[in-house]
Amino acid sequence: MRSDTQIFEGGFSDSVLNAQTVFRALMDAMANPGRIVEVSDLAAPPAPLTSLAASIAATLFDHDATVWCDRAISGSAACTGWLKFHTGLELTGEPADADFALISDVATMPSLESFCRGTSEYPDRSTTLILQIDGFDGADTLVLEGPGIKDSMAFSPSHLPRMFVDQWVANRAAFPRGVDLIFAGKGVLAALPRTTRIKKTEA
Amino acid sequence: MTDLATYNFAYLDEQTKRMIRRAILKAIAIPGYQVPFASREMPMPYGWGTGGVQVTAAVLGPDDTLKVIDQGADDTTNAVSIRAFFQKVANVRVTTKTADATIIQTRHRIPEAQLQAGQILVYQVPIPEPLRFLEPRETETRKMHALEEYGLMHVKLYEDIARHGHIATTYAYPVKVEGRYVMDPSPTPKFDNPKMHMSPALQLFGAGREKRIYAVPPYTEVVSLDFEDHPFEIQTFSQPCALCGAKGSYLDEVILDDKGGSMFVCSDTDFCEDRQAKGHRGALAADTAEAAE
Ligand SMILES: [Zn+2]
C-alpha cells in the first residue's frame, strides 16, 4: 500500500456517531477506574498505531490538542500523516508541553513526571497519556481503590510503565495535579485517573 | 433521518463536542474541580440551563433514553422544551420514568428513586463557584481552591448559626468532594445533598454563562460542610405526601383554592405517580378523598 493511501484512509466511517461511541467508552472508563470497556475497531491506521489508540485520537484530538508521540509513532511518516490528516493535532517533541501523549512502547516510555501535571490553580492543564497495550490479562494484578470504585477493583494490564507503583504513588501525592492514563488494548480500554490509589499488588 | 440532516447531531458541531468531552474527562479525574470550557451560544436563554444542555449534547448518543426534570417535574415548560429540543436534534428516546433513563438532566432536584450504576445525572448550574458570594474575583477564588482555603466558607455558615441558632442555608448548600474541593451542588435543596454521596450514578455539572464543567464520579465521598456542635441536617416534613402517602420525600406546597387551602405533595412527580400506580394513597388522593366523603 502506498503511504499516502495509508494516510488518507482508515478514519471513522461515521465521524459523528463513531466519536460519540468512543467518547462514552472513555467516559465510562474514566468514571470507573480499572473497568474494562469494549470498543469495536472503528479506525484502521498505519502501524504501529493501533485501531483503538487511533479511534481515541480521532475522538479527542484536534488543532487545540498538543500531542507528544513516542519515537515509534513520531518516526513513522505514515503515522504522523494519518494523525494530522484525521485529527488536525499539533505535535510537540516536549512531553511537558503535551495535552496528550501517544505511547506505543510502554516499556521505554519517559517517566510519568516528565509529562505535565497542570498547576495547583489549573490542575486540568495536564497530560492525558494513551498507552497502547495488548490487553488486560497481565501476570501482575493491581488492586485499585478510590472515586469511581465501589469497594476495590482488580486491574491487570498486559504492560505497565517501569517502576509503575512508585511512579503512581508520586503522581497521586501531587493531587490535584497529576496525569491521567488511558490504556488502549485490542478492542478494550481502561483508565486510571489521578484519583485512583493502588491498594496492593498481586503477582 | 431526513429531518436530522439540517442539524448537527445533538446540535453542537464536532469541534465543540470534542472540547466539552475533553473537559468532562478532566472533570471526572479531578472530582469537584471546576474545569473552564468555551461555552457556546445555544438556541435558548442562559437561565434555561445551557450548560447542562451542552453537557448532555456532548454525551448523548442514539442508544440513550433521556429524562429532563425542572423542580421535580417532567412537565414544566423548561423540562418540556429541553426534552423536545433533544428529540428534534438527536432523535433520542425520552422518558419520564427515572428507572428507564440513561441520562437525566435536572435543574433543581435529584430524583427520589435510587439512581443506578450506568445512569448519568446532568445538572444545569447557574452559579458554579461556591465561594463567589464571599469573593467576587475569579483569580482569588481559584487561589482559595488551590490552597484549600475554605475557612471563609465555614465562617459564613457559622454566621448562620449565630444569627438563627442553626445553619439557615437550605439551597446550594456547599459540599466537600473526596476530602478536597468545596463544590456547589447547584440550586438543589440541601435535602438532596446526601443522595450525592457514594451515588452509583455519574454526576456531571454544566454552567453555561460561567463556562464551567465539574463532576462527581460514582462511589465518591460528598460531605456537606458542618460543625461538630451543629451537624448537617436535612429538611423534614411534618406530614406525608397528600397524594401517595410517601414519608421522607421532598414535598412542595400546592395551593388548592383561593381560600388559602393547600396540600403538600412530592416534588418528584414520577416518584409520586409510580407510588400511586402501586396502590399507595395519601390523605387527599382522589379516590381516598371520595371514600372519606
Ligand atoms: Zn407523593
Q: How far is A31 from A33, CA to CA, in rounded Å?
A: 6
B178 shares a domain with B34: yes
Å from CA of B104 to ligand 1 middle: 20
Residues in chain B with CB shorter than 8 Å from the CB of A26 are: 21, 25
Total domains in chain B come to 2
| Of the partner residues A16, A30, A64, the one whose CB lies closest to the CB of residue B14 | A16
Q: Which three cell numbers stand for residue B190?
A: 440541601
Residues in chain B with CB shorter than 8 Å from the CB of A193 are 28-30, 217
Say what the pTM is: 0.96
- pLDDT averaged over every residue in chain A: 96
Q: Give the pLDDT of residue B187.
A: 84
Contact assessment for residue B40 and residue A8, using Cβ atoms and an 8 Å cutoff: no
Domain shared by B268 and B165, yes or no: no
User: Of B224, B242, B275, which residue constitutes the final position of a domain?
Assistant: B224
Q: Do residue B145 and residue B261 come from a single domain?
A: no
- Distance in Å, CA B127 to ligand 1 centroid: 30
Segment A12-18 shows an average pLDDT of 95
Domain that holds residue B220: 14-224
pLDDT at A3: 60
Position B2 scores a pLDDT of 43
B271 CA from centroid of ligand 1 (Å): 7
How far does the centroid of ligand 1 lie from the alpha carbon of residue B28, in Å?
34
pLDDT of residue A186: 97
Domain presence at residue B233: no
Q: Mind telling me how many Å the CA of B10 is from chain A's nearest CA?
A: 10
Reduce the secondary structure of chain A to three states and give it as a string.
CCHHHHHHCCCCCCHHHHHHHHHHHHHHHHHCCCCCEECCCCCCCCCCCCHHHHHHHHHHCCCCCEEEECHHHHCCHHHHHHHHHHHCCEEECCHHHCCEEEECCHHHCCCHHHCCECCCCCCCCECEEEEECCCCCCCCEEEEECCCCCCCEEECCCCCCCCHHHHHHHHHHCCCCCCEEEEECCCEEEEECCCCEEEEEEC
What average pLDDT does the structure give for chain B?
91
* Section B149-169 average pLDDT: 88
**B70 and B168 together in one domain:** yes
Distance CA B16, CA B38 (A): 8
Query: What pLDDT, on a 0 to 100 scale, did the predictor assign at position B292?
Result: 47
A121-161 pLDDT, tens per residue? 999 999 999 999 999 999 999 999 999 999 999 999 999 99
B72 pLDDT band, cuts 50/70/90, is: confident
Task: Answer yes or no: do B30 and A16 touch at CB < 8 A.
Answer: no
Question: Residue A18 pLDDT > 90, yes or no?
Answer: yes
Instruction: Quick: pLDDT tens for B7-55.
Output: 789 899 999 999 999 999 999 999 999 999 998 888 887 677 899 999 9
Is B179 a catalytic site residue? no
Asked if the interface predicted TM-score (ipTM) of this complex is over 0.90, the answer is yes
Do the Cβ atoms of A104 and A79 come closer than 8 Å?
A: no
- In this complex, is the C-beta atom of A158 within 8 Å of any C-beta atom belonging to chain B? no
* Cross-chain residue pair B21–A59, CB shorter than 8 Å: yes
One domain for residues B258 and B214: no
pLDDT tier for residue B6 given thresholds of 50, 70 and 90? low
Give the chain B residue whose CA is nearest to the CA of A64. B19
Nearest to A27 among B25, B147, B219 (CB): B25
Q: B121 lies in a domain?
A: yes
Let me know whether B74 and B193 are in one domain: yes
CA distance A105 to A51: 15
Query: What is the structure's pLDDT at A174?
Result: 98
Per-residue pLDDT at B293: 45
Asked if A193's CB is within 8 angstroms of B29's CB, the reply is: yes
Which chain A residues are closer than 8 Å to B181 by Cβ? 176
3-state secondary structure at position B176:
strand
Name which residue leads in pLDDT, A183 or B1.
A183
Q: Can you give the pLDDT at residue B287?
A: 67
Q: Same structural domain for residues B285 and B166?
A: no
> B215-253 b/e with 16+ CB inside 10 Å = b?
bbbbbbbbebbeeeeeebebeeeeebbbbbbbeebbbbe
Domain that holds residue A142: 2-202
* pLDDT tens digits along B165-211: 888 888 889 999 999 999 999 889 999 999 999 999 999 999 999 99
CATH code at position B174: 3.40.50.11310
What's the gap in Å between B263 CA and the centre of ligand 1? 11
Angle at B110 between CA B109 and CA B116, to 5 degrees: 160
- Separation of B266 CA from ligand 1 center, angstroms? 4
Looking at the structure, do residues B197 and B260 belong to the same domain, yes or no? no
Test the A interface: residue of B22, B63, B216 with most A CBs within 10 Å: B22
Check whether B154 has a pLDDT greater than 80: yes
Chain B residue numbers with beta carbons less than 8 Å from the beta carbon of A60 are 18, 21-22, 25
Instruction: Tell whether A87 is within 8 A of chain B (Cβ).
Output: no
Domain boundary among B206, B224, B242: B224
| Domain identity same for B208 and B261 | no
Question: What CATH number has the domain bearing residue A20?
Answer: 3.40.50.11310
Residues of B with CB under 8 A from a CB of A: 8-9, 14-15, 17-19, 21-31, 33, 35-36, 58-62, 142-143, 145-147, 178, 180-181, 200, 202, 215-221
Distance of CA B27 from the midpoint of ligand 1 (Å): 35
Q: Residue A93 above 60 pLDDT?
A: yes
Is B282 among the catalytic positions? no
Specify whether B58 is located in the same domain as B22: yes
Q: Are residues B48 and B141 in the same domain?
A: yes
Residue B5 lies in a domain: no
Q: Chain A closest CA to B288's CA: distance in Å?
A: 43
B118 belongs to a structural domain: yes
Model pLDDT, residue B4: 47
Q: Do A180 and B25 touch (CB under 8 A)?
A: yes
The reply to whether B133 and B268 lie within a common domain is no
In the predicted structure, residue B290 carries a pLDDT above the cut 80:
no
Cβ contacts of A88 on chain B, cutoff 8 Å = none
B151 is catalytic: no
Q: Is the pLDDT of residue A5 over 90?
A: no
Q: How far is A108 from chain B (nearest CA, A)?
A: 25
Measured CA to CA, the distance from residue B107 to residue B207 in angstroms comes to 11
